[in-house]
A and B are shown apart, each in its own frame.
Chain A
Amino acid sequence: MTPLDAAVLAALAGVLGFVFYKAATGLNYHWNWDIIPQFLLRYDEQTRSWRPGPLTLGLFATIRLSLWSGILAMILGLIISLFRVSPSLFKRQIGTTYVGLIRNTPPLVLIFIFYFFIGDQIISLLGVDTFVYTLSDGTKDFLSWFFGPMNRFPQFISALITLALFEAAYIAEILRAGIESVEKGQWEASASMGMSRSQSMLHVILPQALQRMLPALAGQFISIVKDSAIVSVISIEELTFQAQQLMTTTYRSFEIWTLVLIIYFVLTFLCSLAVRKLELTLKRD
């Protein structure tokens, strides 16, 4: 550490300290951190056991939402990106239209449109609503591990599809760039080995492309975790929605927002660490 580094660090600490000092003394606000822990973890008198608080439940919902929509967006994104690099003009145009349409509209507007107009059509078409009511309690409990409370399942599915459709456009672009970054010679070499186009894509191009696009993909997945906060506007009970509800009840805005900030940071930071690890493993191979 050079003296300059130390000076920068000291200045940074000073600024942060000043902000916290101002927040603690300058605001007309009754700080009350005592009531916050119960929102994370609470002791249930009736069952005599520890139960997750509202914010923890919201965190679970956020994780479920990001995980499923991440997987769905990955599959959809792969299909779209293959369309984008396809030799067929028709497929290319479909891919371009999709990406262009999604990337050039604000996500908030998209969420509302999908939820109120398209989501409904899909849900009623699949008969999800009636399906949930026919389930036995045991099945519901089991499924709620994966999808959250089953009585909110149609809304959850709707949000999940919306988020996945939206993120797929970005993932498709990452995948396309990855595929196109592989040198032409690789295509020619695999063709000379007698491979068909799909074979060379699967065995030669994609494995090479994957390593190059992993950092960008990881960034996009972390983005999904953060973007999932947007579905709070359509009343999906994820972390942000739970926090807003708690604030409306308790008026403890600063404490709750601070806590939510930390939770999101920890979640996405853990994701980054996991991806860095994966990257190193792939490099060694």
Chain B
Amino acid sequence: MKKSRILSLMALLMLIVSAFGCSQQSPQQQENAKAPETTASQLDTILKRGVLKVGFDTFKPWAMKDKNGKYIGFEIEVAEKLAEDMGVKVEFVPTKWSGIIPALLTGKFDIIIGGMSVTPQRNLKVNFSIPYEYSGMSVVASRKLAPGRSLASEFNNPGTTVAVRLGTTAAEAAKNYLPQAKILFFDEESQTVQELLNERVHAVIASNPLPSTLAAEYPKQLYLPSKKDFTKEPIAFAVRKGDPDFLNWLNNWVRVTMSKGWLQNHYEYWFFSNDWETLIQ
């Protein structure tokens, strides 16, 4: 009885050890297997596959679902144009913003085209192309809780609560510009808006045009403390590290497309007009 128990315990231990042994061995094996692959660019993989997989999250008006369930928005058009110039089909992989970089690194898609601002922290994990657009951060505040404030810096005191979306540069900007304010983090943009409308936070920090559209939709409850954006952040494509060929192609795509005025033209349509609003509601 006792002997069989010890035997089976030992067998279990062996199993666990061998499992760990395998998992320790597998990264090495993978590295060996991947060594020739890394010299081949992701660009070749995409061309061979005939499909460009694009990671993004819903962000008005960067990328959103229209009434027919199709994705529309500035980033969607950029991704479609990019794929068209590459001569491949595009496949959209909607991904939660807070997990978008791990998803890129584990190969769920080839590239992030989602209004992602370049930050040094992100740049440690991924490679960025040259910026194809700039986004500005702005504040929208509650008339009832924080009336008549004119500068963003007036929100920098312990009595002020600010809501931001987790993992965005708005969250970083809030931490940097308003170190004394209380900052609440939410997974979705809609949750921050709800907190503001329910008068549980004094203000929301987000990239434009969200603050200005909100102030326009709820003129009695909300206002813009400052007409000007308080940051200007470069927006770029993010790809996995160690792929100079892909990056070179992307950089030159940005240069060419920008020189033709295509990017500016489409940016203005999505950010400074409301013509597309009827497509989503």
Say whether A248 contacts B69, CB under 8 Å. no
* Stretch of A64-72, A166-174, A230-238, A274-282 lying at the B interface: A230-238
Say whether B59 contacts A248, CB under 8 Å. yes
Q: Which of B5, B65, B108, B218 contacts A249 (CB 8 A)?
A: B65
- A250 contacts across to B, CB distance below 8 A: 280-281
Which residue of A is nearest B9, CB measured? Answer: A93
Asked if A245 is an interface residue, CB under 8 A from chain B, the answer is: yes
- A232 contacts across to B, CB distance below 8 A: 96
Which residue of A is nearest B197, CB measured? Answer: A28
Say whether B190 contacts A120, CB under 8 Å. no
* Stretch of B79-87, B98-106, B112-120 lying at the A interface: B98-106
Say whether B64 contacts A90, CB under 8 Å. no
A83 shortest CB reach to chain B, Å = 12
Say whether B65 contacts A246, CB under 8 Å. yes
- B194 contacts across to A, CB distance below 8 A: 251, 253
A30 to B60, CA, bound (A): 19
Interface of B is mostly: mixed
Say whether A235 contacts B103, CB under 8 Å. yes
Which residue of B is nearest A91, CB measured? Answer: B8
Q: When each residue 56-88 of chain B gets 1 if its CB lies under 8 Å from chain A and 0 otherwise, what string results?
A: 001110001101110000000000000000000
Q: Which of B5, B65, B218 contacts A89 (CB 8 A)?
A: B5
Say whether B94 contacts A245, CB under 8 Å. yes
Asked if A151 is an interface residue, CB under 8 A from chain B, the answer is: yes
Which residue of A is nearest B48, CB measured? Answer: A133
A256 to B87, CA, bound (A): 39
Q: Which of B58, B106, B191 contacts A116 (CB 8 A)?
A: B106
Q: When each residue 189-230 of chain B gets 1 if its CB lies under 8 Å from chain A and 0 otherwise, what string results?
A: 111011001110000000000000000011001000000000
Q: A28-B197, A253-B190 are in contact. Are A248 and B64 (CB under 8 A)?
A: yes
B190 shortest CB reach to chain A, Å = 4
A27 to B49, CA, bound (A): 51
Q: A88-B8, A248-B190 are in contact. Are A233 and B99 (CB under 8 A)?
A: yes
Count of interface residues, chain B, beta-carbon cutoff 8 Å: 42
A249 to B107, CA, bound (A): 27
Say whether A249 contacts B95, CB under 8 Å. no
A251 to B198, CA, bound (A): 13
Asked if A13 is an interface residue, CB under 8 A from chain B, the answer is: no
Say whether B94 contacts A237, CB under 8 Å. yes
Asked if A220 is an interface residue, CB under 8 A from chain B, the answer is: no
Asked if A44 is an interface residue, CB under 8 A from chain B, the answer is: yes
Say whether A133 contacts B193, CB under 8 Å. no
A31 shortest CB reach to chain B, Å = 12
Asked if A186 is an interface residue, CB under 8 A from chain B, the answer is: no
Say whether A35 contacts B188, CB under 8 Å. no
Q: When each residue 21-57 of chain A gets 1 if its CB lies under 8 Å from chain B and 0 otherwise, what string results?
A: 0000001111000010010001010000001011001
- A152 contacts across to B, CB distance below 8 A: 93
Say whether A35 contacts B107, CB under 8 Å. no
A88 to B4, CA, bound (A): 9
A142 shortest CB reach to chain B, Å = 20
Asked if A155 is an interface residue, CB under 8 A from chain B, the answer is: yes
Asked if A217 is an interface residue, CB under 8 A from chain B, the answer is: no
Say whether B58 contacts A235, CB under 8 Å. no
- B106 contacts across to A, CB distance below 8 A: 116, 120
- B166 contacts across to A, CB distance below 8 A: none
A94 shortest CB reach to chain B, Å = 7
B66 shortest CB reach to chain A, Å = 9
Q: Which of B58, B68, B218 contacts A245 (CB 8 A)?
A: B58
Q: Which of B1-59 contact A (CB under 8 A)?
A: 4-5, 8-9, 11-12, 26, 49, 51, 58-59
- B49 contacts across to A, CB distance below 8 A: 133
Say whether A54 contacts B8, CB under 8 Å. no
Say whether B280 contacts A249, CB under 8 Å. yes
Q: Which of A116, A133, A237 contacts B51 (CB 8 A)?
A: A133
Asked if A200 is an interface residue, CB under 8 A from chain B, the answer is: no
Asked if B172 is an interface residue, CB under 8 A from chain A, the answer is: no
Asked if A213 is an interface residue, CB under 8 A from chain B, the answer is: no
Which residue of A is nearest B95, CB measured? Answer: A235
Which residue of A is nearest B4, CB measured? Answer: A89
Which residue of B is nearest A250, CB measured? Answer: B281
- A29 contacts across to B, CB distance below 8 A: 197-198
Supply 5 further A-B pairs (C-beta < 8 A) apart from A28-B199, A251-B190.
Answer: A93-B8, A155-B93, A233-B99, A248-B189, A249-B58
8 closest cross-chain pairs (CB), A and B: A90-B8, A247-B190, A249-B64, A248-B58, A89-B8, A235-B95, A245-B58, A28-B197
